[in-house]
Structure 1
Amino acid sequence: MITKMNHVSIFVLNQDSAYDFYVNKLGFKVHTDAAMGPGMRWLTVCPPGQPELEITLMAIDEGMMFKGEAAAQMRDLVKKGTFGFGVFECDDLKATYEELKAKGVEFKKPPTKEFYGYEALFLDDSGNWFSLGERSKTTS
């Protein structure tokens, strides 16, 4: 029986730039940054409140995973914002939105009230887009 997921991948155009974005702008922690053979790098980061989930910042390079034109096609999909997607949570969306905007994070949608809580949409430095949400507070 599967009990949990511990790694998920986000395809990035440049691992150095992605490192800077996820660590210095979003505030994630580096879990692993190691060489994996010639020209390959295993780079994982974790949200500060979820160290058991490693997000692999996976370079889109021709090689083991991508053959022939597949790497160029994948890079194009990521650049266009048509491939990557994820949902992150925070405790105070308005404050987090202002903090990330001040660090240069590009938002496609400001904090907006939705049926499930508040949400803003942002892009990483590769073109992947993410929802940033604050759950509605329930009363007891």
Structure 2
Amino acid sequence: MNGGRLATVTLLVRDYDEALAWYRDCLDFAVMDDVDLGQDKRWVVVAPDADRGARFLLARAEGDDQVARIGDQTGGRVGFFIETDDFDRDHARMRAKGVAFREEPRREAYGTVAVFADLYGNLFDLIEPRKAGSSKP
């Protein structure tokens, strides 16, 4: 696909309002859409940055198969990566808001990173990529 981009990723959630509140209040995500579709369904889209990057469609799980995958959409692996230009600032802010980090920050060849879980247990990396030309992560 020439010129395409990954725009939106579905994230299964238990409840629209609890997921929306967590992503908005704990991660400071922008609410891009919250549209009532009728029949108790909504189109709820959040994003770390309203102007660029991928977004999450918060989709309320329906049926046993979908409910079983809430919080484990990637088989226990980190499935989502949030880049920051100031790791220390965002790490401190997120911790103050109750975000559950699974490890202490670490310096890797590709940057500074720490794994955290969302309210359902999905794993994310908060990462400040190493600056081009820098010898330090």
With the shorter chain as reference, the TM-score category is 0.7 to 0.9
Q: Provide the residue aligned with 1:136 in structure 2.
A: 130
**TM-score, normalized by length of structure 1?**
0.82
1:47 paired to 2:48: yes
Q: CA offsets per residue over residues 64-86 of structure 1, 9 Å max, x none?
A: xxxxx3134223746xx737720
**Aligned pairs, number:** 133
Residue 25 of structure 1, CA deviation? 1.2
Q: CA offsets per residue over residues 4-41 of structure 1, 9 Å max, x none?
A: 12211112222211111111111111111011220111
8 Å contact 2:78–2:115 — kept in the other structure?
no
Distance 2:62 2:83 in 1: 30
- For residue 108 of structure 2, the aligned residue among 87, 106, 114 is 114
Which amino acid in structure 1 is aligned with residue 19 of structure 2? A
Q: Provide the residue aligned with 1:35 in structure 2.
A: 36
User: What fraction of aligned residue pairs are identical, expressed as a percent?
Assistant: 30
Distance 1:76 1:104 in 2: 17
Q: CA offsets per residue over residues 32-69 of structure 1, 9 Å max, x none?
A: 1011220111100121264463310111122xxxxxx3
Cα gap change, 1:27 to 1:134, in 2 (>3 Å): same
8 Å contact 1:11–1:84 — kept in the other structure?
no
8 Å contact 2:71–2:122 — kept in the other structure?
no
**TM-score, normalized by length of structure 2?**
0.84
State the SS of the aligned residue for 1:100: helix
1:101 paired to 2:67: no
8 Å contact 1:27–1:48 — kept in the other structure?
no
Distance 1:84 1:12 in 2: 17
Cα gap change, 1:72 to 1:54, in 2 (>3 Å): closer
Residue 139 of structure 1, CA deviation? 3.4
8 Å contact 1:93–1:111 — kept in the other structure?
no
RMSD: 2.4
